[in-house]
Amino acid sequence: MTLKLPSLPRIPAAVARKGAIPAVLLAALTSPLAYGTLERLEGNVKQVYADHLAGGIPTYCAGRTDPPEVIGTKLTDDQCREVNKVTLLEYGYAVLGCVNWDYLTATRLIGLTMFAVNVGKAAACGSQPFQQINAGRIEQGCNLLALRYDGTPNWSYAGGVFYQGLQNRRQAERKLCREDLQ
């Protein structure tokens, strides 16, 4: 069985139009902190499995679902490292395309990228947290990753059911997003 591993993404036109990506942000996407956070939050499963929270979608390495692989297919450490690099860059580029760079730090970019990996690029880019950050309300935007305005859990439901694991993840993303705030 031949694996159809994803290839490294190109910088999207929306990002390229903004100019050269600041080196600190680009480096953050493939930093040990980014890899470690991705693998801690997503796991790093070296065998394709049916993700029950995602409707049985074949999932592998640190939450990758595309390109689809056959359930049961095994991957090596090196293959997962490459897959995870593609994931970090792909989702990180999406975040860079929809968030004002003036409001990003390396750790904030990592936190927002982890959020996008989990909820999807379009959902993340259209979300209240991203809207608030783009409006310069960084603390409020970071908080909305995990908590609604009334303090109840946000982005912690799958199929209408609350999952403490998702709330724990949101708190981790929120912490990264807020790391440099006074």
C-alpha–C-alpha distance, residues 139 and 132, integer Å: 9
- The H or E element containing residue 38 is helix 32-42
Q: List the single range of 20-24, 49-53, 75-79, 175-179 with lowest mean pLDDT.
A: 49-53
Q: Would you say the C-alpha torsion 4, 63, 31, 145 has a positive or negative sign? A: positive
What secondary structure does DSSP assign to 2-18, as a single string? ---PPPPPPPPHHHHTT
Which residue in this structure is represented by tokens 């990264």? 176
Beta strands, E only, 21-145: 45-51, 57-61
Give yes or no for a cis peptide into 68 (omega within 30° of 0).
no
Instruction: List the domain boundaries for the chain.
Output: 13-178
Q: What is the CATH number of domain 13-178?
A: 1.10.530.40
Provide mean pLDDT across the span 30-45: 96
Q: What is the pLDDT of residues 153-171, one digit of tens each?
A: 999 998 899 999 999 999 9
Q: What is the pLDDT of residues 85-132, one digit of tens each?
A: 999 999 999 999 999 999 999 999 999 999 999 999 999 999 999 999
Q: How much is the pTM? A: 0.93
